[in-house]
Amino acid sequence: MKHARLDEVIARSRFDAVLFDLDGVITDTASIHATCWKEMFDKFLNHRRQSGQSTFRPFDIAADYKKHVDGKLRYDGVESFLTSRGIRLPYGHPEDPPGYDTVTGLGNMKDALFKASVESGGVVIYEDSIAVIKHLRSHRFKIGVVSASKNCKKVLQTAQIEELFDIRVDGNVADRLKLPGKPAPDTFLKAAAMLGVEPRRAVVVEDAVAGVKAGRAGGFGLVIGVDHQADPEKLREHGADIVLKGLGELLQ
């Protein structure tokens, strides 16, 4: 039977909806995000060194990105990393221009770098993930995308896959509704409510620890971890029921 494993893991008799993270699950923009975070934080840290406020220790993608930034709302990621380095800045306002003086200014600097990167290089999608989504849609599953990124809509449009999703809960929606970001389950729970399904009848697909924790905390029926970092146990430890190297494993 074609796609037998997918139909067994995400059985129509058990589930009505599947909620996908964007970066690292549907698109390969996670690598762009990581590079932009490093560029922004290294500029900031070097600025502090030049002004005599601290020594320079660069942002480490392997350690700092996964631990403090990945899967979180942008300003939450800024605060988490700054706290890890013992740095305190005023929070600022979302309208602050990119700069070094506030949390929001740093977050907006990173956002500007990301937008420029997407516009210049386009968006790489995981074709196996798109194949899974199309198969699920053909079997009448409701499909949602739940992302901390405020650029989610732009990324979906650039990749020409926006029409595959019934609803979108992203960083803009979280801000408007005052929803805490992952690892809190609120954005996933909002997506399930928008689709009219109970959490226990929905599947969460995530690549970040924060997202996996959110899916588990929300009482979702199945949490699938996608491991691109060769560290599957970390996702399992935080609540993933199944860990795959890529969603293409479900199509084999």
**Segments making up each domain of the chain, as ranges:** 4-28+124-251, 31-121
Choosing from 23, 186, 207, 241, the catalytic residue is 23
The model's pLDDT over 104-121, given as tens digits with 9 standing for 90+, comes to 999 999 999 999 988 887
Residue 137 to residue 69: CA distance in whole angstroms:
31
Residue with tokens 């990393």: 81
Q: Is the pTM of this model over 0.85?
A: no
Annotation says 64 is catalytic: no
Arch. (CATH architecture) of 4-28+124-251? 3-Layer(aba) Sandwich (3.40)
The model's pLDDT over 161-183, given as tens digits with 9 standing for 90+, comes to 999 999 999 999 999 999 999 99
The backbone region for 140, taken as left when phi is positive above 0, alpha when psi lies in -120 to 50, beta otherwise, is left
Annotation says 23 is catalytic: yes
Choosing from 21, 70, 96, 111, the catalytic residue is 21
Based on the number of CB atoms within 10 Å of its own CB, is 62 exposed (0-12), middle (13-18) or buried (19 or more)? exposed
